[in-house]
C-alpha cells in the first residue's frame, strides 16, 4: 500500500492485471487535499500471490483488512474494472466502511461478454504464450483510436503484461466468472458516481449503465471516445469528473 497527503481517505483500486502504479497520477493530483491510497490486489504487483483461483470475496476481504490497518475507512473508494467490482463488494458487505463510491468501467454481475474475452485470453496464452494473451487484452481494453495514436504505449503495456507472473493473473481472471451484486446494490445509501467509456468493448456501456440503475441516486457519466482504461485515454476529463463529484459529496478539509 502506498499513500500520500492528508485529509479524508481516498482509495484507488486497480483492475485486473494492473497494480498501484496505475494510480500514481491520482496520488499526485489528490495528495494536497486527501489522504490518498493505492495498493496491489492479491496476485498483483508487490502483493502475495497465493495459489488460486481467486474470488471477489478474497479481494474484498483483503482490501478491507488493508484499509483498516492504515485507518483509511470510512472513506471514498474509486475502483476501475475488477477494482470497481471489489469496491461494490466492500460497500455491500460493510457499508459503514465506505463513504462514497466511484465505479469506473465495471459491471455488477458476471457477463457472457467478459467471460468470453477471458476464455479467449486463456486459450491464446495456452496455445501461443503470454504475449498472445496480452495482445488480446490490449485490443479489448484500449479503444481503436487510442491504440492507433499511441503505439509505443500499447507496446509497453504488452511487454509489461507479458513479463508479469501468469498464474496469478489466471487466478484473478477466475473471479470474473461468478458474482452478482444487483440485489446488494439496491440497498446502498451513499453517493455514487459511475463512469463509462462509450468505446469500451470489455465492459460495454449498457453493462456499466446497469450498475448505475441498481444504486439509488447514482450519477452516470459517459465519456465519448474512451475505451475501458479511461484514466489512460482521457486523464483530464476523467479526473475533472471525479473532482466535481468529490466537491459535491466528499469535500476535502483544506
- Between strands 2-4 and 35-38, the pairing is antiparallel
Instruction: Return d(Cα 232, Cα 198) in angstroms, integer.
Output: 15
Residues 6+ apart with CB under 8 A from 17: 44, 137, 161, 164, 169, 172
Structural domains in the chain, CATH included, are 2-110+179-249 (3.40.50.1820), 114-168 (no CATH)
Residues contacting residue 96 through CB under 8 Å, at least 6 positions apart: 74
Q: Please confirm whether the linkage preceding 74 is cis (ω < 30° from 0).
A: yes
Provide mean pLDDT across the span 121-128. Answer: 82
Distance (Å, whole) CA 27 – CA 12: 9
Please report the pLDDT score of residue 167 as a whole number.
Answer: 93
β-strand partners of 220: 194
Question: How confident is the model over 156-211, as pLDDT tens digits?
Answer: 999 999 999 999 999 999 999 889 999 999 999 999 999 999 999 999 999 999 99
Beta-carbon contacts of 157 under 8 Å, excluding residues fewer than 6 positions away, are 134, 138, 142
C-alpha to C-alpha distance for 202 and 121, rounded to whole angstroms:
12
Hey, what's the cell of 79?
A: 475502483
- Average of per-residue pLDDT across 101-110: 97
Residue 115: other Cβ atoms inside 10 A: 14
Amino acid 114: pLDDT: 79
Residue with cell 462514497: 100
In tens, the pLDDT along 130-166 reads 999 999 999 999 999 999 999 999 999 999 999 999 9
DSSP 87: H
Are 66 and 1 contacting, i.e. CB atoms less than 8 angstroms apart? yes
CA distance 160 to 180: 31
What's the pLDDT score for residue 111?
83
Distance of CA 202 to the CA centre of its chain: 13
Q: What are 5-46's pLDDT values in tens digits? A: 999 999 999 999 999 999 999 999 999 999 999 999 999 999
- How high is the pLDDT of residue 253? 66
Instruction: Identify the pLDDT of residue 121.
Output: 81
Amino acid at each position: 500500500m502506498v499513500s500520500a497527503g492528508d485529509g479524508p481517505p481516498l482509495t484507488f483500486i486497480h483492475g485486473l492485471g494492473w497494480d498501484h502504479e496505475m494510480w500514481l497520477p491520482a496520488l499526485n493530483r489528490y495528495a494536497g487535499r486527501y489522504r490518498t491510497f493505492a495498493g496491489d490486489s492479491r496476485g498483483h504487483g508487490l502483493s502475495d500471490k497465493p495459489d488460486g483461483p481467486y474470488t471477489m470475496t478474497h479481494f474484498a476481504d483483503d482490501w478491507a483488512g488493508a484499509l483498516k490497518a492504515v485507518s483509511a475507512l470510512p472513506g471514498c473508494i474509486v475502483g476501475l474494472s475488477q477494482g470497481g467490482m471489489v469496491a461494490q463488494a466492500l460497500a455491500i458487505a460493510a457499508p459503514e466502511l465506505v463513504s462514497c463510491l466511484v465505479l469506473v468501467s465495471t459491471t455488477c454481475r458476471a457477463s457472457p461478454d467478459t467471460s468470453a474475452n477471458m476464455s479467449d485470453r486463456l486459450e491464446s496464452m495456452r496455445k501461443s504464450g503470454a504475449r498472445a494473451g496480452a495482445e488480446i487484452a490490449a485490443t479489448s481494453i484500449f479503444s481503436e483510436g487510442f491504440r492507433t495514436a499511441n503505439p509505443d504505449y500499447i507496446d509497453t503495456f504488452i511487454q509489461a503484461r507479458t513479463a508479469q507472473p501468469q498464474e496469478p493473473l489466471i487466478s484473478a481472471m477466475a473471479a470474473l466468472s461468478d458474482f452478482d451484486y444487483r440485489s446488494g446494490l439496491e440497498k446502498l445509501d451513499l453517493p455514487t458516481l459511475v463512469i463509462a467509456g462509450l468505446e469500451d468493448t470489455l465492459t460495454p456501456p449498457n453493462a456499466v449503465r446497469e450498475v448505475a440503475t441498481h444504486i439509488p441516486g447514482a450519477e452516470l457519466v459517459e465519456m465519448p471516445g474512451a475505451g475501458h482504461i479511461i484514466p489512460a485515454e482521457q486523464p483530464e476529463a476523467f479526473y475533472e469528473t471525479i473532482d466535481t463529484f468529490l466537491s459535491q459529496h466528499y469535500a476535502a478539509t483544506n
